[in-house]
Structure 1
Amino acid sequence: MTEFEAVTSQYLELIDDALPGLVSGFYLTGSIPLDDYHPGRSDIDGVVVVSEPVTDPEIVRAVHEKLPERPYFDVTYLTASALAAPPDRSTPVVYTIDGQFRDPATAGTVTPVLWSELARQSIAVRAVDGLAVHDDHQALVDHTRANLTSYWEPMLDRLEQRAAELPDDQVLDGWIIPWYVLGIPRLHALLATGNIISKTAARQHGAAAFPSYADLCTRAINHRAGALGEFTVADATPTVAFGRAVIASARQL
């Protein structure tokens, strides 16, 4: 049994015991269906289909607290009727990021991306008969374009500003550079191909589309896979340049 199979099995046993009949379905999204899960490093992402809306984390918190701290168990609790309609960010939804419950009112994971992941490339751990998911490709494209400009561009500005305040040889937290280098090309690939791809595939896409940054992409994916090595403040400069080049190109797609 794999790491994620053990955790998901434990979760279903716990939730069924604590709240019988609540969970009618459970689908894995993210890296697992894309065959890009790295034990000890990746998170478990998914959608829990519930028989009635869950808008208060306290309803399920005790179950989550019994799960291992890692891998992070990042799920969103949604009804089948909610999934059959466009994502509604005005309705509170219980969800976790990095294993922590976030404010349900923010509905952070309620986006066309999650709906499309579920419809196109999820793995059913517990399937719901006849589940219909509203997969609107134009909404996915529009969301992706908006995310590049409203989220990633300001994040690149912050990285550049922060790096200017630090010595070039200062070592950065290992996740920072790969997060940018692999995250932004994933969105470019979606606009270019129409497909949601893995972080490993994002490395391949980024290196092929922007060959002058191929080495940076390779270092980022090697780090994600657990290879030894570190990133310093000096790596922020090519990372920012790469990110801006990817976004500029995405605007033309």
Structure 2
Amino acid sequence: MLSPMLANEVERAVSRYLAVADRLLPGRISGFYVVGSVALGAWRAGRSDIDFVATVAGDLGERDLRRLALLHKAGNAPAAWRALARARPDVPGTLNGVFVAERDLGRPVTSLRPLASHSGPSFKRGRGFEANPVVWKVLLEKGVAVRGPAPGELGLDPEPGRLREWNLGQLHGHFATWAGRALSARPPRKPLQPAHQVALATVLSPPRLHHTIATGEVISKEAAAEYALDTFGPRWHPLLRLALARRLGLPAPAPGDARRVPRLVGEFVLEVIASADEK
């Protein structure tokens, strides 16, 4: 048993992933910490991914990096097969994470250069979005140690003084750009997912960042829905309830004219950004 804090499905998935990691890179994964929805108490079987931060002992050569890329595929094969068998366009249960050098853990997180990361279908060398003040705060305060010392013993520096700035940067960067596309004639879409589904999957992220800017605390997307219902006007409540129901896998009414959903979500995101600027 890895940890009493992990659900059985998470424990099995992490065990399989680490077994593959230890075959491909024996003795190199010195620490493994579960963050994200698992750490925040909002993980849902069959709907959520499993986010992690892994530490690596020593340097990684070219051969090691190729094996790390193979780990991304082989370690997540069970989740991919389950999604394929159910004809799902997404792959819930995927392990997504960032790999950092053990020796760099004490550095301020925004100056830390990850060794690699993978998320969804993407594997990146020398980069990792997850090495940021939000994830490091969750890691320090709520991260689940599967392998290695407790997070409080790692000497982490999440740079709390940069938390607001970082979240505002995400809103004005990624989400403002997304909103602009949502308001255009060609809103964002993904393979096998129509634009309105992509838009609904985006609704809860901006209010989550808004909450962190306002309070300094990090919450799950589910909690962000309740926060947004309390914070933003009734115009947005049907949209928020629909996004929450879909997040939880609960029956939800059809969104009416699906073609209008991306524009509505784009307008909501812009309102969240304007409100965050005032916090």
TM bucket normalised to smaller: 0.7 to 0.9
Alpha-carbon offset, residue 188 of structure 1: 0.3
Deviations 1:200-245 (A, max 9, x none): 0010111110131122111101101113445412122332222111
CA separation in 2, counterparts of 1:239 and 1:63?
36
Q: Give the percent of matched residue pairs that are identical in Structure 1 and Structure 2.
A: 27
Q: Indicate the larger mover: 106-115 or 73-82.
A: 106-115
Question: Normalization by structure 1: what TM-score?
Answer: 0.87
Alignment of 1:64 with 2:68, yes or no, is no
CA separation in 2, counterparts of 1:177 and 1:75?
24
Alignment of 1:101 with 2:123, yes or no, is yes
- Whether the aligned pair in 2 keeps the contact of 1:24 and 1:128 (CA below 8 Å) is no
CA separation in 1, counterparts of 2:112 and 2:242?
40
Match 1:151 to one of 154, 166, 174: 174
Alignment of 1:51 with 2:57, yes or no, is yes
Name the SS of the counterpart of 1:49 in structure 2.
strand
Q: Which residue of 1 aligns with 2:147?
A: 126
Structure 1 residues 142 and 89, CA gap change in structure 2 (3 angstroms): same
Q: Which residue of 1 aligns with 2:271?
A: 245
- Whether the aligned pair in 1 keeps the contact of 2:110 and 2:133 (CA below 8 Å) is no
Segments of structure 1 that go 5 or more residues without pairing to the other structure are 165-170
Alpha-carbon offset, residue 143 of structure 1: 0.8
Alpha-carbon offset, residue 55 of structure 1: 7.0
Say how many residue pairs are matched.
246
Segments of structure 2 that go 5 or more residues without pairing to the other structure are 1-6, 81-90, 188-192
Q: Indicate the larger mover: 43-52 or 12-21.
A: 12-21
Deviations 1:132-185 (A, max 9, x none): 111211212111111111111111010000368xxxxxx935641233210100
Q: Which residue of 1 aligns with 2:216?
A: 194
Match 2:39 to one of 21, 33, 38: 33
Alignment of 1:18 with 2:19, yes or no, is no
User: Aligned-pair RMSD on alpha carbons?
Assistant: 2.3
Q: Which residue of 1 aligns with 2:207?
A: 185
Structure 1 residues 8 and 90, CA gap change in structure 2 (3 angstroms): closer
CA separation in 2, counterparts of 1:49 and 1:92?
10
Q: Indicate the larger mover: 80-89 or 208-217.
A: 80-89
